[in-house]
Amino acid sequence: MPFHTGQFGLLLAATAALFYLAGAGRPRVRRTILLTASYLFYASWNPAFLPLLWALTAIDYAAARWLEVRRERWALIASLGANLAFLAFFKYYNFGASIAAQLLGRPASAFALDIVLPLGISFHTFQSISYVVDVYRGRQRAVTNVLDYALFIAFFPQLVAGPIVRAREFFGDLLPWRVPTREEMARGAFLCVLGLTKKMALADNFARVSDAYFAELPSGLLTAWGGAAAFGLQIYFDFSGYTDMAIGMAKLFGFHFPENFRRPYLATSITDFWRRWHISLSSWLRDYLYIPLGGNRGSRLATYRNLMLTMLLGGLWHGASWTFVLWGGYHGALLAGERALGMGSAASQSILRAAPTFLLVTLGWVLFRAPDAATAGRVFKEMFAGEAGTWPWNAWQTGLALAGAAAWITEERSGWVERLSLSPGWRYSAALTGLLLVLEMFGVTDTMVPFVYFQF
């Protein structure tokens, strides 16, 4: 039940109607409505995995309650072990099995199993781990009501692809819940339409270019750069569009999710890029992996090692293949290089720094998008040693890209999206109408293009 379907629209409308009909004085009924809707949303993909979600919820709930009373490491290890074991089996078993088969001289599929990846397992696993670790560290009180904790794990706006919400943020809204203000409701509705427009009018159109390029791999330098850049725009508008919808829907129910994207293609370094791209994952990796590894508290070499390990594991988190490992290693090497050269902390917004950063990020997207390392190698060869070729975008796709870039450069400087909900009604209505017009004119409706991050 993707966000950009009528079926999901009906679920959202029905949930909101029941939620507010329950009244502000009935918090338990409201939370039960949200939890029921979340489980219906999850079950619409594959109801067979509901017991898995319930089991992980029960394990982490019990572990946190125990850790608050007796801070014993075994309870933490049991919780982490359960989450990582499920994640390792469903997401990484076949990858590990193919490596083992190759080492033993067997066919790559010799030990493979027919495994279906549970919905959102990478995201709710990280969310659970952060909660239990924070309780163990004494930074978070254990939740006493199991249904409240179940809602934290399964809340449908961000269950599939985040943002990864910390417990203090979620329960800070849930427990002392208040009715959203008019401005919050207006901003939530606008973000939902904005995200839908990003997805269907921008991401899905660039998906046509990138999918065609990586399926056929036509020769040509311009063709290769155009295909890679198309995927870079696809994944940005796709994922940030999903996040806008998730944050917007959360606002409609009185929750305030953290920002997950901050115009990342205007970054002036790779370090700056990771402060702007998938912020909830970047901060999670920093707090629960990079800093525990030692962060930058040791020698320079130790810092470079910690950066590389963090990004390698971050790449592997995205998918079980060598291309994701290479993608993580590529960004780890760039981050370490910037640290060594003292470049990462620069705050200059000069286009002279943003342009090369965008090109470096685009090269990385080749590894992210290519089905295997050999394909990525062929694309790199064309990008740097191919004939001229032809630009794969048509005129209106180029126009959409330029219009999107202008809008987000303006947003970077003025923050017009943030201020729009406070604007006069005519201005808000005009902006909303403009988005709907773009969606009507350019939205891809003949095919259902899945969200990129739904596969993770």
Residue by residue, what is the 3-state secondary structure of the chain? CCCCCHHHHHHHHHHHHHHHHCCCCCHHHHHHHHHHHHHHHHHCCCHHHHHHHHHHHHHHHHHHHHHHHCCCHHHHHHHHHHHHHHHHHHHHHHHHHHHHHHHCCCCCCCCCCCCCCCCCHHHHHHHHHHHHHHHHHCCCCCCCCHHHHHHHHHCCCCCCCCCCCCHHHHHHHHCCCCCCCHHHHHHHHHHHHHHHHHHHHHHHHHHHHHHHHHHHCCCCHHHHHHHHHHHHHHHHHHHHHHHHHHHHHHHHCCCCCCCCCCCHHHCCCHHHHHHHCCHHHHHHHHHHHHHHHCCCCCCHHHHHHHHHHHHHHHHHHHCCCHHHHHHHHHHHHHHHHHHHHCCCCCCCCCHHHHHHHHHHHHHHHHHHHCCCHHHHHHHHHHHHHCCCCCCCCCHHHHHHHHHHHHHHHHHHHHCHHHHHCCCCHHHHHHHHHHHHHHHHHHCCCCCCCCCHHHHC
- Together in a domain, 87 and 120: yes
- What pLDDT, on the 0 to 100 scale, is given for residue 117? 86
| Residue 436 belongs to a domain | yes
Mean pLDDT score of the chain = 89
With a CB cutoff of 8 Å and minimum separation 6, the contacts of 386 are 219, 220, 221, 223, 224
| Residue 46 belongs to a domain | yes
* Torsion region of 22: left, alpha or beta (phi above 0 gives left; psi -120 to 50 gives alpha): alpha
- What pLDDT, on the 0 to 100 scale, is given for residue 195? 92
pLDDT band at 351 (very low <50, low <70, confident <90, very high): low
Task: Tell which residue, 52, 76, 75, 71, has the closest CA to residue 129.
Answer: 76
- What pLDDT, on the 0 to 100 scale, is given for residue 451? 83
Instruction: Name the active-site residue from 124, 278, 318, 331.
Output: 318
Burial of 380: CB neighbours in 10 Å, binned 0-12, 13-18, 19+: middle
- Together in a domain, 54 and 26: yes
Sign of CA dihedral 134, 135, 138, 140: positive
| Residue 362 belongs to a domain | yes
- Together in a domain, 153 and 35: yes
Last residue of a domain, one of 179, 213, 246: 179
Stretch 311-332: mean pLDDT, rounded? Answer: 94
Q: Is the pLDDT of residue 50 over 90?
A: yes
Distances (CA, A) of 136 to 80, 142, 288, 310: 12, 9, 13, 22
| Residue 445 belongs to a domain | yes
- Known active-site residue 124: no
**Tally of domains in the chain:** 2
Q: Mind listing the pLDDT tens digit for each residue in 407-444?
A: 776 666 556 777 776 777 778 888 888 888 988 888 88
| Residue 298 belongs to a domain | no
- What pLDDT, on the 0 to 100 scale, is given for residue 387? 87
Rounded Cα gap, residues 126 and 146, in angstroms: 19
The range of the structural domain enclosing residue 21 comes to 6-179
| Residue 372 belongs to a domain | yes
- Together in a domain, 121 and 231: no
Task: Tell which residue, 49, 452, 81, 80, has the closest CA to residue 240.
Answer: 452
- Together in a domain, 240 and 377: yes
- What pLDDT, on the 0 to 100 scale, is given for residue 368? 96
- What pLDDT, on the 0 to 100 scale, is given for residue 22? 86
- Together in a domain, 192 and 155: no
Q: Mind listing the pLDDT tens digit for each residue in 209-250?
A: 999 999 999 999 999 999 999 999 999 999 999 999 999 999
Q: Mind listing the pLDDT tens digit for each residue in 267-285?
A: 999 999 999 999 999 999 9
| Residue 149 belongs to a domain | yes
| Residue 276 belongs to a domain | no
User: Between these two residues, 85 and 353, which has the higher pLDDT value?
Assistant: 85
pLDDT band at 354 (very low <50, low <70, confident <90, very high): confident
Last residue of a domain, one of 117, 144, 179: 179
Nearest-10 crossing angle of helices 221-252, 395-414: 50
- Together in a domain, 29 and 85: yes
User: Between these two residues, 342 and 336, which has the higher pLDDT value?
Assistant: 336
- Together in a domain, 359 and 432: yes
- Together in a domain, 217 and 354: yes
- Together in a domain, 161 and 195: no
Exposure of 409 in the CB half-sphere (CA atoms within 13 A)? 10
- What pLDDT, on the 0 to 100 scale, is given for residue 342? 81
- What pLDDT, on the 0 to 100 scale, is given for residue 399? 82
- What pLDDT, on the 0 to 100 scale, is given for residue 353? 81
pLDDT band at 390 (very low <50, low <70, confident <90, very high): confident
pLDDT band at 316 (very low <50, low <70, confident <90, very high): very high
- Together in a domain, 213 and 155: no
Last residue of a domain, one of 130, 164, 179: 179
- Together in a domain, 157 and 195: no
